[in-house]
Amino acid sequence: QVVGGKVKKPGKRGRKPAKIDLKAKLERSRQSARECRARKKLRYQYLEELVSSRERAICALREELEMYKQWCMAMDQGKIPSEIKALLTGEEQGKAQQNSIKLAKAGKTEANSGNP
């Protein structure tokens, strides 16, 4: 027969069944199933670790939110929490240190430009 410019041979179509030992085929199938289960187990472990790390992060954020709520309630009552005072004084000290560093650098550049 000639179909579409190609000569076709009569008989079965497709690949010929390979003469593979049935025991070897079953063993390959078992090994493939073992590997599949191992990959699935690793995937589940990874996802469980991911979920637990996210849950820990959520708990930490909830605690932080609760702390901020308490601070706001205290400030509404006219009290300034000691933590906020510490933050403010820490920022002021940091600004003072930055200013002193800038002044020291400016002094060094002026001293270097003054020397011939």
In the chain, which stretches have pLDDT less than 70? 1-20, 92-97, 99-100, 102-116
pLDDT at site 59: 97
Domain for residue 77, yes or no?
yes
Domain for residue 42, yes or no?
yes
> How many domains is the chain partitioned into structurally?
1
Q: What is the model's pTM?
A: 0.50
Please check whether residue 81 is in contact with residue 75, taking contact to mean a CB–CB distance below 8 angstroms: yes
pLDDT at site 41: 97
Please check whether residue 71 is in contact with residue 86, taking contact to mean a CB–CB distance below 8 angstroms: no
pLDDT at site 116: 46
Q: What is the spatial distance between Cα 55 and Cα 17, in angstroms, rounded to a whole number?
A: 53
Residue 83: which domain range? 22-88
Q: What is the spatial distance between Cα 70 and Cα 83, in angstroms, rounded to a whole number?
A: 11
Q: What is the spatial distance between Cα 93 and Cα 74, in angstroms, rounded to a whole number?
A: 25
Domain for residue 111, yes or no?
no
Query: What does the block give as tokens for 47?
Result: 């996802």
Q: What is the spatial distance between Cα 108 and Cα 114, in angstroms, rounded to a whole number?
A: 10
